[in-house]
């Protein structure tokens, strides 16, 4: 996996910190909508150990219309400023629009986080043109910013594998680097809670494709519904539990609101797997 200037090798993982340039984010309620607050947030998450910063200008779910011009205004100058201040961080832009993707790449983006499964097919061509990474996601055919309603699959994980591999294959065919492609099963998007839980326990099937896998689990509705926690701020423990499960099965990138807690989970899983030595192993040795 190679994103921006960082080569993560065959097993390395990364935390993708969320920085929403929206006034109506489900989790932070617009806490990083202003430039100053957003830049403070980037500085914080980089100091906490995030390798990737994911910048989005449109709320994923229902809400006021955000046209291309407004999305550009919210994201592109900010991407340029982050690139200037943090030259080594991997900058991801959460967009499904090729116009925004192109402008973001010109401003210094390294990864296009397309959470709406190729709704704009030209996004892959932009990734190829700029030799940046691309997230291939699964939404069950839903258009952007819509919620699932009585969605059904004969086999949800088979649909995830087929859909993301199809997008990855097309991306490679137009010139996107295979080591820059991430597959995202896209919990909650086009899925009910039962289906998100199923793809969580069967994530190894997506990992087995050979592509790096990204999971965006942080404080999502399927966690809240599973534990009956309506407030997103109460969902950290549940998020970390499913994060550990995903890490054990081989996911590589973890999109998260709470960076230090997520990194501790990933470090612990890596140590249990034998990929990372404990930092201070003294017990029983002295």
Q: Is 99 helix (H, G, I), strand (E, B) or coil?
A: helix
Give the C-alpha separation, 29 to 31, whole Å. Answer: 6
Catalogue the active-site residues.
220, 255
User: Residue written as tokens 């969902």?
Assistant: 235
Give the C-alpha separation, 199 to 15, whole Å. Answer: 20
Bridge partners (DSSP) listed for residue 91: 53
Helix (H) or strand (E) run with residue 115 in it: none
Bridge partners (DSSP) listed for residue 215: 254
CA atoms within 13 A on the CB side of 98: 13
Instruction: Characterize the bridge pairing of strands 2-3 and 6-7.
Output: antiparallel
CA atoms 207, 213, 218, 220: torsion sign: negative
Q: The tokens of 235 are what?
A: 């969902």
Query: Are the CB atoms for 257 and 27 separated by under 8 Å?
Result: yes
Give the C-alpha separation, 38 to 246, whole Å. Answer: 28
């Amino acid at each position: 996996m190679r994103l921006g200037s960082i080569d993560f090798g065959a097993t390395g993982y990364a935390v993708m910190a969320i920085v929403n340039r929206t006034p109506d984010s489900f989790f932070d309620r617009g806490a990083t909508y202003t430039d100053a607050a957003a830049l403070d947030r980037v500085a914080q998450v980089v100091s906490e150990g995030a390798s990737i910063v994911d910048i989005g200008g449109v709320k994923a779910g229902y809400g006021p219309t955000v046209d291309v011009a407004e999305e550009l205004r919210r994201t592109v100058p900010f991407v340029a400023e982050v690139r200037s201040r943090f030259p080594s961080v991997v900058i991801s832009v959460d967009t499904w629009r090729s116009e925004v993707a192109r402008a973001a790449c010109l401003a210094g983006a390294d990864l296009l986080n397309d959470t709406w499964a190729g709704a704009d097919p030209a996004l892959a061509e932009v990734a190829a043109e700029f030799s940046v990474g691309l997230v291939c996601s699964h939404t069950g055919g839903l258009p952007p910013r819509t919620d699932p309603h009585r969605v059904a699959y004969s086999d949800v994980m088979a649909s995830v594998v087929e859909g993301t591999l199809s997008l990855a294959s097309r991306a490679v065919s137009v010139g996107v680097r295979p080591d820059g492609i991430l597959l995202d099963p896209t919990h909650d998007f086009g899925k009910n809670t039962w289906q998100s839980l199923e793809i969580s326990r069967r994530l190894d099937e997506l990992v087995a494709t050979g592509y790096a896998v990204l999971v965006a689990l942080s404080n999502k509705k399927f966690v809240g519904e599973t534990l009956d926690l309506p407030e997103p701020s109460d969902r950290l423990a549940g998020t970390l539990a499913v994060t550990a499960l995903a890490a054990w099965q081989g996911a590589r990138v973890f999109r998260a609101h709470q960076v230090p807690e997520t990194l501790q989970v990933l470090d612990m899983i890596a140590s249990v797997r034998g990929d990372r030595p404990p930092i201070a192993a003294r017990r029983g040795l002295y």
